[in-house]
Structure 1
Amino acid sequence: MSAHPAAPAVESSGADLVVVLNCGSSSIKFAVYDGGVDPLPRRALWNGKVQGIGGPSPDFGESGVEPFAIELDGGTPYRSALALIRDRILARLAGRRVGAVAHRVVHGGSKYFEPVRVDAGVLEDLRSFIPLAPLHQPFALEAIAILLREYPRLPQVACFDTGFHHTIPKVEQILPLPYDAWERGVRRYGFHGLSYAYMATALPERHGDAARGRTIVAHLGSGASLCAMQDLESVATTMGFSALDGLMMGTRTGALDPGAVIYMMEIEKLGLEEVGRMLYHRSGLLGVSGISPEPRVIVRHEGDEGEAGERARIALALYVRRIVREIGAMAAVLGGLDMLVFTAGVGEHNAFIRERVCRDLTFLGVALDDAANEAHAATISAPDSRVRVAVEPTNEEWIAARQALECLS
């Protein structure tokens, strides 16, 4: 550790700390919160990320320290990344204690909706849901398993991205399959629940009772979904049984005619594993554009001549079209629209995506304030807009930390 830059000291109440881990396939985000302050501060004491796990040039960055290159064990890079995070946290404890670790777990299946303390039995249950969220579930569970072995007395709490959508009615949950599929747990679950749970807290604080009306939140990141809220509860969402459904995403298809998949398997002889890679990793913005999964990169090529420019233009047009189409569907479920909220990486930082979406929603009474939109203001709708349009940064880590403390209290 001596070759790595030292982390600056942080102030704390001296009480137990809560560590939040958000584990993906190639990155691990972490945040540390002071569990001794009530209410729990929304700003972490410090946070950071290991990225590029499994790749040729991983790096580590945390608050107060410039990202720096790291070396991970080639045989067990994920375990090595977790060990690095553990060592960095231990180096900054200054005599304090980690009282709990909260994990963002994407899928709780039909059994888990509320945060739960994880033991060996719960871990085994959660492993059975790996096929429902193969991009995230196995990595969160690997981190939990490692900590269970190394620190068996350390409380670990699983916080579920599916939990917030437990309020959607059965007519939204059930899929048009034979009824015994419902009885086996094949249903619409919905995801990004920690983000939407934060919106349910932050929006009324900023916008008052207006947020309690007919609200659609657009969580637009590398994964993307919409949530229709009424009185701050989920009543409909675009992601379904898996995180493949709904909006077009960075590398995922979103809603897709299953007949196209059957065709590719039957006629083009694609195997199940190859189809899975295509749907999760090679589709969406990346697949259509051939350039990038990120709109801010693709937009630079819209003016290019030839096929490259055409693919860039159609990729962004399709991305926006799918968002607009699904907002229309959510508005129909709500019986109208009072507030539209953009959040997550693309939603918070890409003004041109917000502008294009709102331009196509004028039929709902959406009118944008262009200057406010370019400035990423909290409210970006024009004064005469019938729909309030907002930009609200999400804070999934804080929600996970708060849920862990509530679960263990």
Structure 2
Amino acid sequence: MAVALAASQERFDSRGHLFMVADGMGAHAAGELASKLATDVVPLTYHKLVDLSPPEALKEAVLQANRYINGRGEADLEFRGMGTTVDTLVILPQGALIAHVGDSRVYRLREECLEQLTFDHSLVWEMRAAGHLSENEEDIPSFIPRNVITRSMGPNPEVQADLEGPFPVQTGDTFLLCSDGLSGQLSDCRIGQILGCLEPGEAAQALVHVANLRGGPDNITVVIARITGPQRTLDSPKQKANFENGNGTPRPVHPIIWGLLGILPSLGGVFALANSPKVALALLLAAFLVGCGALIYRYTKPHRMVFDSRPRGKGPYRQTLCSPDAEFIDWVRDLVNQLREAAEKESWHVDWQPIHPHQEAGETATRDADFVKAGREYLRVICQIMGQVRQRQTRNEPDRAAGIF
């Protein structure tokens, strides 16, 4: 995964905050390399393409990363055919942009509605789009594999990347980027309910722990970003999401030009002291002209092309109401009870003292029908237990908690 936050308001206005997940495929080493290359190349290339608008730069960054991954794979037989899924989210003043390849997902939780903003490039979703399958998961025939993806970065020199957005952003919106290890274990409703109960950091831990307990892989990737203030949002629905080439920021000037601006006046001074006023004057004039040219280049643009505000792509593709309710509390409390029983049966070395207050707070909130607080406290119980299990695992003790339900 990768997170690149803008270091200044000017940088945010021009390039925004970038969040990214990549889930490698193929042999273990090959998949890891492909995902690492993607998370290294995409953010770097996106920020280098300053003469392109954010939508153009984001898509071009993904295409260049794909060609680079493919080239590395073709150059080494061990990594040939390696690939990775990619989801890149950029939060700008104009809204949220997404570049997407594969079956990792980007969600947005707004109030009590979870929206899937990306289209799964999988066999099941492609067959649904063609009208060959219904939306009901239970109606999918058993002979149709659910884990076959139809598009990824790396195996081929060219790839078709989806560009979604800009989606309007408002204070309180929560964005989730995740690999299919999470979405394959938890329904959209459960994902949204957990997101709605916890702050981003705790929610990320809880989602991974719960997915692992339900049999998910160890390499689940989750990135969560929440909009916390109006300075990062497009709160006015009438404001247009327009992007311009250059985005109003100065263009970079080559270092050689800045070097000439230092060398030419110095040489002029040397020739002036050597009684060569004409040469000195010519050098100073050259420095003046170079400086003027550099300023003109830096602060003007060859053209300004304004893009229309119509969203790219067709997202959101799914919408799910996910308010925490009594049924959710029963589900998460059942997870807690099963986890406690497993801990006692398997004689895990768990320190229950810091856990009991969360359990009691969850029970009190349940009686008061405060389902958000109850969910929060029960999820904290799960995180506390699993956190201790993970610490034991780092000491090379067997991890018997993963996939016990």
TM-score (norm: length of structure 1): 0.27
Higher relative contact order (CA 8 A, sep 6+): 2
TM-score (norm: length of structure 2): 0.27
Larger Rg: 2
